[in-house]
């Protein structure tokens, strides 16, 4: 396994972060694995040297956090050897009053609830899952900073939003002496590169590490999706969110080019897509999902795949601008 610092912090994370959205309650999503089926993925990831795990309170209504917490307790002798990231915003109460968003009340309550579900004393990276248009930014940043000062959280991170919003958060934290965001979990992959316009340059300038979600475009870049809809996997046939993000003809042109380059290099398309995102200087660790153990093997293999300038030029050439996707 290869390791890097998360942004400009002193904390070192594996170049791959295991995303846990696929582990929880199968009754909620057809492609989700239950705890028994999920455990081998944690075992394999830890054995391979992955020390970075990402989850969220909203995943399977908190069940995913519970499964992660038990896996870490059972499989990791020293909790300090792993970096646990979770998120707040959506919550686990189906939109009940004051149980969602980024108010001081909900941030602190959500943090305490996540700690309890995971059986942890602190969270390494606590992230806001989306931007809250109804809560003053000052209220959000001060509450998050207070969690750091209280010792419940080590570092702060954010997820998809506009660059001006993230810049304002960073400015407020600097102005008031509050803890700053050290990472941005944004929507970024070969099919969706709008983040290269403003968010990624901002993060690079401020020393904020990128931990992109959906680096394989929810499996779209595996090369097994169909123009008429769906694909060859359970997720491809039941992931409505993916059809909202991708499946345009221009997207298929990018996916086809990815398959072409992979064939020439003698590797799998998903390995090329991961190698491409890992080649970007601002990226600390893309967040990968896995519902087959071979997915983890392939992702780890991508760490040793080096694309040259001609490969990258071929991969990026078919891209066409998109509307903003993934902020909602």
What does the pLDDT look like over 205-236, one tens digit per residue? 999 999 999 999 989 998 877 666 655 665 54
Question: Count of CB atoms within 10 A of residue 320's CB?
Answer: 11
Query: Looking at the chain, how many residues does it have?
Result: 328
Domain ranges of the chain: 3-316
CA distances from 168 to 76, 80, 138, 141, 259 (A): 38, 32, 10, 10, 40
Tens of pLDDT, residues 30-80? 889 999 999 999 999 999 999 999 999 999 999 999 999 999 999 999 999
Tens of pLDDT, residues 166-211? 999 999 999 999 999 999 999 999 999 999 999 999 999 999 999 9
3 close to 209: Cβ distance less than 8 angstroms = no
Q: Give the whole-number percent of the chain exceeding pLDDT 70.
A: 95
pTM: 0.94
Residues catalogued as catalytic: 59
Distance from C-alpha of 12 to C-alpha of 5, rounded to nearest angstrom: 4
Distance from C-alpha of 38 to C-alpha of 217, rounded to nearest angstrom: 22
The fold for domain 3-316 equals TIM Barrel (3.20.20)
């Amino acid at each position: 396994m290869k390791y890097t610092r998360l942004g400009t912090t002193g904390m070192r994370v594996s170049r791959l972060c295991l995303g846990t959205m696929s582990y929880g309650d199968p009754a909620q999503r057809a492609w989700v694995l239950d705890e028994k089926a999920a455990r081998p993925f944690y075992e394999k990831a830890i054995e391979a040297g992955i020390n970075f795990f990402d989850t969220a309170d909203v995943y399977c209504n908190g069940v995913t956090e519970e499964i992660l917490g038990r896996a870490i307790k059972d499989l990791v002798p020293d909790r300090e050897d792993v970096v646990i990231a979770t998120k707040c915003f959506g919550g686990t109460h189906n939109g009940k009053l004051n149980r969602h968003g980024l108010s001081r009340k909900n941030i602190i309550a959500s943090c305490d609830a996540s700690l309890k579900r995971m059986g942890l004393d602190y969270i390494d990276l606590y992230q806001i899952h989306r931007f809250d248009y109804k809560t003053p930014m000052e209220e959000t940043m001060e509450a998050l900073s207070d969690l750091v000062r209280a010792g419940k959280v080590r570092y702060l991170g954010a997820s998809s939003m506009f660059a001006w919003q993230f810049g304002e958060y960073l400015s407020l934290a600097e102005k008031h002496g509050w803890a700053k965001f050290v990472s941005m979990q944004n929507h970024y992959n070969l099919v969706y590169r709008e983040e290269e316009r403003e968010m990624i340059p901002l993060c690079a300038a401020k020393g904020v590490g990128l931990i992109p979600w959906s680096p394989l475009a929810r499996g779209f870049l595996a090369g097994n999706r169909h123009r008429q809809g769906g694909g060859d996997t359970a997720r491809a046939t039941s992931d409505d969110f993916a059809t909202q993000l991708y499946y345009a003809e221009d997207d298929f042109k990018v996916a086809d080019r990815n398959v072409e380059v992979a064939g020439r290099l003698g590797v799998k398309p998903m390995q090329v897509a991961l190698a491409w995102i890992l080649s970007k200087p601002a990226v600390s660790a893309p967040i990968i999902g896995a519902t087959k153990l071979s997915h983890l093997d392939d992702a780890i293999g991508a760490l040793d795949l080096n694309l040259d300038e001609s490969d990258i030029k071929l991969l990026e050439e078919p891209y066409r601008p998109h509307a903003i996707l993934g902020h909602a």
